Chains A and B, each alone.
Chain A
Amino acid sequence: MTVSIQLEVNGKPVQAAVEPRRLLVHFLREDLGLTGANIGCETSLCGACTVLVDGNAVKSCTMLAAQADGASVTTIEGLSQNGELHPLQEGFWEKHGLQCGYCTPGMILSANYLLAQNPSPNDEEIREGLKGNICRCTGYHNIVEAVKYAAERMS
């Protein structure tokens, strides 16, 4: 049995028939080849699979693909415009806000949601806003710097 869904992914229309139990993250990674969203825990705790669904940061391992019917999804692959890095992508690279890079796509999309809600957050607000995304490499300090870098450029 499959469910028919229509949605927009990174600005492009997508139509698919998916198993009802298919998770959004598997749909994105395996059916659409968008492997930027990583799987780290399967239980919505690490945040590596975070994507934007209608502008909200969503952990795509705990949402069914069927639930995304009619939605607009943005993954890390859809963040840069016209070949230019998004200020957050630039910031994470520039400020050494990444090391192994596994949490980075999810971290950037959570930060993107944070900046949409609060365009000029202070350090504490950034730390609170990114609590749902675990980074094991950096100690978070440079991630905070990266988000501030982007906030400045986006304002």
Chain B
Amino acid sequence: MTAIGTPTKLLEGAPKVKGSLRFCGDLDRPGLLHARLVTSPHAHAEVLSIDTAAAEAMPGVAAVITAADLPALPPSNRATLLLARERAIFVGHPVALVLAENEAVAADAADAVAVDYQPLDAIVTIEQAEAPDAQAVWPDGLPGQSEEAAAHGAGDVSEGEEAVASSPNVTNRMRFERGDLERGYAEADAVVERVFRTASVHQSYIEPHASLIDPDPMGNGMTVYCSTQAPFFIRDAIAGVLGMPQDQVRVIGTPVGGGFGAKFVLYEPLLALAAVQHQRPVRLVMTRTEEMLAATPAPSTRITIRAGAKRSGELTALEADLAIDCGCFPSSMTALAGTLLGSSYQTPNQAVGGFEVTTNKPSVGAYRAPLAPQAAFVVETVLDQLARELDLDPVEFRLQNASEKGTPMASGMPWAGMGQRQVLEALRDHPAWQNREQARAEGRGVGIALGAWPGGTEPASAACALQTDGTLKVHISTADINGTNTSMALMAAEAFGLDPDKVTIATGDTSSGPYAGASGGSKTIYTVGPPVIQAAREARQQTLELAAQTFEADPEDLEIVDGAVQVKGSPDKAIPLKKIAQRTMRFGGRQAPVFGHGRHAQTSQAPGFCAQLAEVRVDRETGRVDVDRVVVIQDCGRAINPAAVEGQMMGGALQGIGWALYEEMAYSEDGQLLTATLNDYALPHSAQSPTELETVLVEVPSDHGPFGARGVGEPPVVPTAAAVANAIADACGARPTELPMTPPRVLQALNGGQ
């Protein structure tokens, strides 16, 4: 093999460094209307009236749309919520949409829309929402549930469903149980019980949501340009809301300037309604404040955990109860959360479960390994504490109880093959762990943690065509998330047998391209790779058969070397690939073009594990924490493009530091977001990234992944906050129980409180 495993620069690197790549917000159309949202300033309010007259009278304003102009759909998620009718249910809930000739006029007009609200009491916290006598966020009953959790690898949501909700806001209650907890605690030599909280955080892609809807002038549907991880989801959502055939909605994915789980479907159906109504192209590029107020952040959680272990290191019991604040719509993520809480370690006695609550806040979305950083923060810090109390080596303690292939996950389903043990062993043997006393002597605390991501599955298809210039064109329809196309090219090159420089990627739209799922759940390479390889192999076989006719030889006796087909070992009579292709694409030609196809349904997951070590300094006076070093050790199955894999690992770890120390969507008692700009919402900057950020690739081939590859995007964000928390404890003994671990929280933990 030559292509696979070679660090390779991004295919689309040149337009990215030259600034010539066209993001959605760069696109224009004749007659383009610029959209701006008018959003609710109240977390919960009755909308008494909307006066659009002043806005509509402004020069350059084409229309002001309100709910009265839209179909009255029963809202089941944010894509169908459209505009507020009688009630606004979160700060940022759109109540009107302005369409104007330019951005400035649209913003002016949005300010001129006068909405009369009657503010109502809002449900803001988990405690308010779960109270038996709580006011219902949905007085007429909870709406349907999203499909997103399934895309991110959740198990069967209905499993473990039990107990009638006590509060009207409690939903998706589930619990996975096995063994006898009381016996487990009785056998334990140490039991740790704690309550943790994690803040809502924002995915904070730097490119805001952007979409441009271009209605067909003949009235036959529309073309949608959209920065999305999921072009086919956008198509289905728009077709569903507008009640039109899916084929009339052609979605062209534009380059995604960061998504991290948040760019699925948001306001595209609303914009499509507006564009079709007014028969003009409509573009919405969200502002940062709209992103903070009116997108889909990650949920805040409260997790109660109790775990026990013997002095011998045997984990005897684990119980965890999780409450997820999913904002105004259910998110269907509790089964996934239970899996994440109770699957990495084996204990005979276990109960993990939880529920979601709806609140008057924006409904939550996926963010890079949804619920996994929260689960790891809780489980891994408690294991660390148990190890300390029982005087056990924290790595050996984890190894002793580690899950492995075939052992049960929380749900009882068996684990697929994975490299949990291998990443822990690599951590144990790493110099940073071996020499930890030196770091301690220099005043730094050293912490470790493990993170898991079960992995996603989905069917996908692809095609490969040999071109008349001797290159191979790969047809796929996946959103290229940070280098996945480059890896597709490497896999196709490897399978066909030509140089990766000779492979191009043609990304199709939802009307012309082969199906692929959303680029999310760490499954892009895992699910689209196999059909790409299959298509490239078929194209290779066809190419050899064409050449065999010329050589009057058996295809088995031919090989492809340096862009030409030859009889094995006889380069002198080689036929260039371009010549073979040219014969198949000409007037009167007699040979069929080379066109390989691939189709595959990945049905089993390829779990990804990541172990991390963090070294931190804690200022005992101020509570400030600085992360000096992070070692990221990950089982990627097989690194198709090691440069891209390492990029994911480092980027994930820094997002993990954001979780650990800085990022928080803070809300006031009445549901106002207090961190609505990047001035208040602290994204890690370059001086907060560890000066030593090291990656170690472990390769335990997955059972069904392309060349053994596993998903790599999500695992590296999972253990970081836990590793930092354990390093803080190592440095100063403080065990903060709330993310982010801001200086006041660290100080409080140092002073004995929680």
A interface vs B, CB < 8 Å?
19, 21-22, 26, 29-30, 34-43, 45-46, 48, 75-77, 79-80, 85, 89-90, 92-94, 96, 98-105, 108, 123-124, 126-128, 130-144
Do residues A141 and B693 form an inter-chain contact, with CB atoms below 8 A? yes
- Cα A70 to Cα B650 in complex, Å, equals 43
Q: Please pick, from B208, B647, B677, the residue contacting A96 in the complex, using a CB distance under 8 A.
A: B647
- Cα A105 to Cα B255 in complex, Å, equals 15
Do residues B20 and A77 form an inter-chain contact, with CB atoms below 8 A? yes
Q: Across the two chains, which residue of chain B brings its CB closest to A34? A: B19
- Cα A98 to Cα B483 in complex, Å, equals 10
- Cα A3 to Cα B257 in complex, Å, equals 34
Do residues A134 and B683 form an inter-chain contact, with CB atoms below 8 A? yes
- Known A-B contacts A46-B678, A127-B687, A128-B687; A102 and B20 likewise in contact (beta carbons under 8 Å): no
Residues of chain A contacted by B260 (CB below 8 angstroms): 136
Tally of A-B residue pairs with Cβ under 8 A? 172
Given A104-B19, A124-B691, A144-B686, 15 extra CB contacts under 8 A? A22-B104, A26-B103, A35-B23, A36-B18, A40-B207, A48-B206, A92-B13, A98-B17, A100-B258, A101-B15, A135-B686, A136-B204, A138-B654, A140-B686, A142-B647
Do residues B678 and A43 form an inter-chain contact, with CB atoms below 8 A? yes
- Known A-B contacts A19-B104, A102-B207; A35 and B22 likewise in contact (beta carbons under 8 Å): yes
Q: Please pick, from A43, A76, A131, the residue contacting B19 in the complex, using a CB distance under 8 A.
A: A76
- Known A-B contacts A100-B205, A100-B255, A123-B691; A137 and B647 likewise in contact (beta carbons under 8 Å): yes
Do residues A45 and B651 form an inter-chain contact, with CB atoms below 8 A? no
Do residues A104 and B482 form an inter-chain contact, with CB atoms below 8 A? no
Residues B156-211 near A (CB distance < 8 A):
204-208
Residues of chain B contacted by A100 (CB below 8 angstroms): 205-207, 255-258, 481-482
B669 within 8 A of partner (CB): no
- Cα A101 to Cα B486 in complex, Å, equals 14
- Cα A108 to Cα B23 in complex, Å, equals 18
Q: Please pick, from A101, A108, A132, the residue contacting B21 in the complex, using a CB distance under 8 A.
A: A101
Do residues B206 and A40 form an inter-chain contact, with CB atoms below 8 A? yes
Give 5 CB contacts A-B under 8 Å: A26-B103, A93-B16, A104-B16, A133-B685, A136-B258
Q: Please pick, from A98, A102, A138, the residue contacting B23 in the complex, using a CB distance under 8 A.
A: A102
Do residues A101 and B257 form an inter-chain contact, with CB atoms below 8 A? yes
B26 within 8 A of partner (CB): yes
Do residues B678 and A134 form an inter-chain contact, with CB atoms below 8 A? yes
B653 within 8 A of partner (CB): yes
- Cα A150 to Cα B176 in complex, Å, equals 54
Q: Please pick, from A26, A45, A90, A93, the residue contacting B677 in the complex, using a CB distance under 8 A.
A: A45
Q: How far is the CB of A154 from chain B (nearest CB, A)?
A: 15
Q: How far is the CB of B36 from chain A (nearest CB, A)?
A: 13
Q: Across the two chains, which residue of chain A brings its CB closest to B15? A: A101
- Cα A96 to Cα B549 in complex, Å, equals 44
Residues B680-700 near A (CB distance < 8 A):
683, 685-687, 689, 691, 693
Residues of chain A contacted by B678 (CB below 8 angstroms): 41, 43, 45-46, 134
Do residues B651 and A99 form an inter-chain contact, with CB atoms below 8 A? yes
Q: Tell me which of B204, B686, B691 has the highest count of chain A C-beta atoms within 10 A of its own C-beta.
A: B686
Residues of chain B contacted by A26 (CB below 8 angstroms): 103-104
Q: How far is the CB of B495 from chain A (nearest CB, A)?
A: 24
Residues of chain A contacted by B208 (CB below 8 angstroms): 39-40
Q: How far is the CB of A15 from chain B (nearest CB, A)?
A: 21
Q: How far is the CB of B462 from chain A (nearest CB, A)?
A: 23
Q: Across the two chains, which residue of chain A brings its CB closest to B17? A: A89
For B, the interface residue count at a CB cutoff of 8 angstroms equals 57
Q: How far is the CB of B678 from chain A (nearest CB, A)?
A: 4
Residues of chain A contacted by B647 (CB below 8 angstroms): 96, 99, 137-139, 142
- Cα A84 to Cα B361 in complex, Å, equals 50
- Cα A29 to Cα B26 in complex, Å, equals 8
Do residues A93 and B17 form an inter-chain contact, with CB atoms below 8 A? yes
- Cα A126 to Cα B689 in complex, Å, equals 12
Do residues A76 and B650 form an inter-chain contact, with CB atoms below 8 A? no
B246 within 8 A of partner (CB): no
B interface vs A, CB < 8 Å?
7, 9-10, 12-23, 25-26, 102-104, 204-208, 255-258, 260, 285, 287-289, 481-483, 643-644, 646-647, 650-655, 677-679, 683, 685-687, 689, 691, 693
- Cα A76 to Cα B296 in complex, Å, equals 32
Residues of chain B contacted by A43 (CB below 8 angstroms): 288, 677-679
Q: How far is the CB of B695 from chain A (nearest CB, A)?
A: 9
- Cα A22 to Cα B103 in complex, Å, equals 11
Q: How far is the CB of A27 from chain B (nearest CB, A)?
A: 12
Q: How far is the CB of B117 from chain A (nearest CB, A)?
A: 25
Do residues B689 and A140 form an inter-chain contact, with CB atoms below 8 A? yes
Q: Across the two chains, which residue of chain A brings its CB closest to B203? A: A136
- Cα A74 to Cα B255 in complex, Å, equals 24
Q: Please pick, from A76, A127, A140, the residue contacting B654 in the complex, using a CB distance under 8 A.
A: A140
- Cα A46 to Cα B207 in complex, Å, equals 10
Q: How far is the CB of A22 from chain B (nearest CB, A)?
A: 8
Q: How far is the CB of A126 from chain B (nearest CB, A)?
A: 7
Q: How far is the CB of A114 from chain B (nearest CB, A)?
A: 11
Residues of chain A contacted by B679 (CB below 8 angstroms): 43, 45
Residues of chain A contacted by B654 (CB below 8 angstroms): 138-140
Residues of chain A contacted by B285 (CB below 8 angstroms): 39
Q: How far is the CB of B330 from chain A (nearest CB, A)?
A: 28
- Known A-B contacts A100-B206, A139-B689; A42 and B288 likewise in contact (beta carbons under 8 Å): yes
Do residues A93 and B650 form an inter-chain contact, with CB atoms below 8 A? no
Q: How far is the CB of B17 from chain A (nearest CB, A)?
A: 4
- Cα A21 to Cα B104 in complex, Å, equals 9
Which A-B residue pairs are the 6 nearest by beta carbons? A36-B19, A102-B257, A76-B19, A101-B16, A139-B650, A139-B654
Q: Across the two chains, which residue of chain B brings its CB closest to A80? A: B18
Do residues B16 and A135 form an inter-chain contact, with CB atoms below 8 A? no
- Cα A138 to Cα B695 in complex, Å, equals 13
Do residues B685 and A131 form an inter-chain contact, with CB atoms below 8 A? yes
Q: Tell me which of A92, A93, A144 has the highest count of chain B C-beta atoms within 10 A of its own C-beta.
A: A93
Q: Please pick, from A36, A89, A94, A136, the residue contacting B206 in the complex, using a CB distance under 8 A.
A: A136
- Cα A12 to Cα B673 in complex, Å, equals 45
Residues of chain A contacted by B685 (CB below 8 angstroms): 130-134
Residues of chain A contacted by B644 (CB below 8 angstroms): 96
Do residues A39 and B25 form an inter-chain contact, with CB atoms below 8 A? yes
Q: Tell me which of B20, B204, B260, B650 has the highest count of chain A C-beta atoms within 10 A of its own C-beta.
A: B650
Do residues B257 and A94 form an inter-chain contact, with CB atoms below 8 A? no
Do residues A37 and B17 form an inter-chain contact, with CB atoms below 8 A? no
- Cα A11 to Cα B287 in complex, Å, equals 31
Residues of chain B contacted by A90 (CB below 8 angstroms): 17
- Known A-B contacts A21-B104, A85-B17, A99-B647; A38 and B23 likewise in contact (beta carbons under 8 Å): yes
Q: How far is the CB of A145 from chain B (nearest CB, A)?
A: 11
Q: Across the two chains, which residue of chain A brings its CB closest to B207? A: A102
- Cα A89 to Cα B25 in complex, Å, equals 22
Do residues A96 and B643 form an inter-chain contact, with CB atoms below 8 A? yes
Q: How far is the CB of B109 from chain A (nearest CB, A)?
A: 15
